[in-house]
Structure 1
Amino acid sequence: MSRSDDPGHYFQTTDSLATSERKAAKANNNYGDPRRLSSKILAVLNHQSWPGEVIVAEAAGVVRRVNLSTSTARPIARPRSSPLTSLAIAPRAGVPTLYAACWDKLIYGTPLPTSNSTLQSLPAYQPHELRGHSDFVKCLLPAQIAGSPVLLSGGADGVICVWDLASVAGSSGKPLHKLSNSAGGKAAVQCLVLDPLGVPPDLDEPSGSGVVVFSSSSDREIRRWFISRERAYELAESIETPILAHETSVYKLCFDSEGDLWTASADGTAKHLVRERGWEVDTVLKHPDFVRDVVVDDARGMVVTACRDEEVRVWDAGSGDLVCVYGGHYEEVTGLALVEGWGVVSVSIDGTVRRWSLERKGMREYAEAVEREKAGMVEEGKAEGREGVLTAEEEAELAELMDDDD
């Protein structure tokens, strides 16, 4: 154990003190042009109607819109003081509504502010709550079923709820459906995504009647569901059920333009699963720690991952080669969002929002800046190390004087 007169050091190991000191030193860096908020950031959402901005969910129970051009981070919802884990935007009775999933087992919906309004200036601030989970709500997914809006939620209770948003009454009552895996497990639902290819033709369902949703969970299983207004069930005939591509929790799922699946897992990997080969893994992106998120930039052929080791990594989607490692966060990176014209935006429990270029030129400039900083630190260390140290000439002179004393 480390011993110190500083009360803040009591009961801390040497390793934990070193980690704290490293993070404190790193906290002042300006890589990624950080926007610093007051609490941990657990989720980020790109809202197409607000170009150059992102919406973030904080552990303090606040939702903010962050302008990437300025330092403004305005609150637009404050549903509770409990941590908010996920965000979604969907129309409720025709009104664009912001939904926030919370640790307190509820989902909070508020009318979405206009482009220039804030929480305080909303005259019709009428929040509503969705109650259907018995544990933390971990993920949200908006969808359209037969032209009607719905919201899907996944919880730590292992349940997927489907909420009707077509009417005010429908979106405040009981869910349309409550789903759990056919094996009866209670593993937390970590992520929900829509299948971009829609309902497969071999499924005996009316055209346009429903959607296919993929879910991932804390027991490493990836499952597929058919959901319509009338019924919802797990698909088990056409693919292996469940898909088992990882050793443990699968935190995120993301489809690319080909309809193939990218995954992020606590086993330290992100993987590419090929649909035409029965979801066979053909690319493995290895990390030193949990992979929290993955997004795909199809236009540039890049895959971006967020890791618990504080880094954001950019990979070549075709070869799986590592292209760039962005280091700026000093705590776990919790989410990513692609923003047109800005590259990728990352958020972290260090309370910062940072943006990173996905252009080769931008990545080179970042690498050069890091090298310049390292070189400066080395020179500074050398300068500090000279104090009190004799040169070779001075040492020779001292030795001669000592010989004379003899």
Structure 2
Amino acid sequence: MLQSDADNYFQTSDSVAEQKRRQAKADNKNGSPVALTSKILAIHADPQDPDAVYIAEAAGTARRVALETGEKSSVYTGAAAPLTSLTTLRSPSAEPILFAACWDKTIHSWNLKTRKPLRRYAGHSDFVKCVLATELSGIPVLLSGSADSTIIVWNVETGRKIHTLKGHARAVLDLTLDPAATTKDELCLFSADTVRDIRSWKITLDSASDMLPTPLRPHETSVNRLRFEDSLVVDADDADADADLWTASSDKTAQRLVRSRDWATDTTLPHPDFVRDIVIDQQAGWVVTACRDEEVRVWNSASGELACVFSGHFNEVTGLALMPPAQGSRASRVVSVSIDGTLRVWSLDPAEMKKAKEEYERQQNGIEVEEEPEVKKESMLTAEEEAELAELMDSDDE
């Protein structure tokens, strides 16, 4: 049934009710929200500052956000379309660089310190969905995955293509390096797509080849994120040779694929909706997931049991970053970002997790907790752009 209210023309009763629910939930202060003026599509931890992250916005800007103060004035501009993924590169031979994948089919880059726009990498024929920067035989390289189903390896300094990897049948959604198999002269890259295929590539400056005779297919549909347990290890010589692979999928599960069992699944974490991201606090034994149902969940990595739910976002959670402990704490933090335009910080301290669990249970039981109202900012996107963004986020998830 359609609403008759003039403010709700062309909206169903369900859509109006959902809008009101989100408006009511938006008033909460859980996770000490930092509000942005646009939908946040990706997050990347600052490798040089344990209290800062970079975020990618649908408005086409990237920002550096200080977690302790909420300062967000360091802005990287120049893109005229939504940014979908971020990565950084710090090389002895070059200035530190921030890269952003974009809807405009290119990768934008900026000098991290001056925020001055640098090179644009053009070569894909569709949206660029994921980027990853590293070094190969002493040369800074950029890897990008696109909706055109290809992966391109770029020479950062010249902007030229080194390799174009073909093998995926549909959009490439994520890229990650295997810390146990990557060396300074050879990259072991894992990639995931919307068909559900996970592929592995051996890349040198002279060659690139698919390492798996058949792709891994642990999920029923799109694989949105790949994370190795030791994905934060910089030196491959220090990596755990048994590092396993965690995946997040639109089939409403996250899974652990075990290296010693030829990447068979030994743990499955069920969710009520698409799982968008996953991070691993290996030392503490936690796995944290981001879900389209607006929640951030913490799981025991050994048992697969749900430890707590961090509830605060009032729209889809799009990304997570695992951060070191805050000053005076021993527990890691997780930063989450969302379509709701907020960034929130959650402590993995057992006492804080207990509080979050209790509050979530109260919410589930219908016990209201009063919160101070928060002024909401309207989206900077047009209705047509909103529809296009929704299609991008959910493409091929059926």
The SS at the match of 1:142 is strand
Q: Does the CA contact (< 8 Å) of 1:223 and 1:243 recur in 2?
A: yes
Counterpart in the other structure of 2:347 = 357
Q: 1:160 to 1:375 in 2, by over 3 A?
A: closer
The SS at the match of 1:176 is strand
Structure 2 regions of 5+ residues with no counterpart?
231-241, 327-332, 371-398
The SS at the match of 1:128 is coil
Q: CA RMSD in A?
A: 2.0
Within 5 A, what are the aligned runs for 1:256-405? 256-257=229-230, 258-342=242-326, 343-370=333-360
1:108-135 CA distance string (max 9 Å, x none): 111111xxx6x4xxxxx24211011000
Cα distance in 2 between the residues matched to 1:248 and 1:225: 21
Does residue 175 of the first structure (1) align with residue 151 of the second (2)? no
Q: Does the CA contact (< 8 Å) of 1:62 and 1:75 recur in 2?
A: no
**Number of residues of Structure 1 aligned to a counterpart in Structure 2:** 352
Within 5 A, what are the aligned runs for 1:131-210? 131-165=122-156, 167=157, 170=158, 172=159, 174-181=160-167, 185-198=168-181, 208-210=184-186
Cα drift, residue 371 of structure 1: 6.0
Q: 1:148 to 1:329 in 2, by over 3 A?
A: same
Cα drift, residue 376 of structure 1: 9.6
Counterpart in the other structure of 2:94 = 94
The SS at the match of 1:22 is helix
Cα drift, residue 47 of structure 1: 0.8
Structure 1 regions of 5+ residues with no counterpart?
120-124, 200-206, 381-406
1:127 counterpart (118, 132, 140): 118
Cα distance in 1 between the residues matched to 2:289 and 2:269: 9
1:248-276 CA distance string (max 9 Å, x none): 00000000144110000000000010011
- Letter aligned with residue 105 of structure 2: K
Cα distance in 1 between the residues matched to 2:293 and 2:366: 24
- Letter aligned with residue 251 of structure 1: N
Cα distance in 2 between the residues matched to 1:273 and 1:37: 36
Cα drift, residue 198 of structure 1: 1.4
The SS at the match of 2:46 is coil
Cα drift, residue 209 of structure 1: 2.9
The SS at the match of 1:299 is coil
Q: Could you tell me the TM-score, scaled by structure 1's length?
A: 0.83
Counterpart in the other structure of 2:384 = none
1:367-398 CA distance string (max 9 Å, x none): 34456778995699xxxxxxxxxxxxxxxxxx
- Letter aligned with residue 323 of structure 1: A
Cα distance in 1 between the residues matched to 2:11 and 2:3: 9
Cα drift, residue 80 of structure 1: 1.2
Q: Does the CA contact (< 8 Å) of 2:309 and 2:356 recur in 1?
A: no
* Higher relative contact order (Cα pairs below 8 Å, separated by 6+ residues): 2
Counterpart in the other structure of 1:79 = 78
1:254 counterpart (207, 224, 227): 227
Cα drift, residue 148 of structure 1: 2.1
Cα distance in 2 between the residues matched to 1:220 and 1:28: 37
The percent identity for this pair of structures is 48
Cα drift, residue 341 of structure 1: 1.3
